[in-house]
């Protein structure tokens, strides 16, 4: 399952808050892009336990990452049948540089 967000401009992505359905994925990736064609992985999580809510810091050392597109790829499930995302909150700052 792939979820792609297209922002209406360039933003600094700081944090994601995911509310998972069905115990959340056991493995997933978060990727960013400025063009929509070349993707850079910023987070890879494997062997995650069942959970409902998860906060994910996207930047490193408190620094946000500039992007225009964000993709979450859910790779493996914790639930026997289902995989789902109930709510996704993206904490961003407007990116001042114009392209």
Alpha-carbon distance of 20 to 28, in angstroms, equals: 12
Which residues are CB-neighbours of 92 under 8 A, at least 6 positions away? Answer: 7, 11, 12, 13, 14, 64
Q: Percent of the chain scored above 70 by pLDDT?
A: 89
- Domain assignments of the chain as residue spans, ordered by start: 2-94
Give the CATH number of domain 2-94. Answer: 2.60.120.260
pTM: 0.79
Alpha-carbon distance of 6 to 70, in angstroms, equals: 7
Average pLDDT, the chain: 84
> What pLDDT, in 10s, does the model give residues 47-72?
989 999 999 887 765 667 788 899 98
């Amino acid at each position: 399952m792939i979820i792609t967000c297209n922002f209406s401009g360039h933003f600094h992505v700081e944090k994601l808050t995911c509310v998972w359905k069905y115990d959340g994925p056991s493995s997933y990736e978060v990727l960013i892009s400025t063009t929509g064609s070349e993707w850079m992985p910023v987070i890879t999580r494997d062997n995650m336990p069942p959970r409902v809510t998860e906060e994910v810091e996207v930047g490193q050392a408190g620094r946000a990452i500039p992007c225009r597109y964000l993709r979450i790829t859910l790779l493996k499930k914790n639930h026997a049948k289902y995989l789902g995302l109930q709510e996704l909150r993206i904490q961003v700052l407007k990116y001042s540089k114009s392209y």
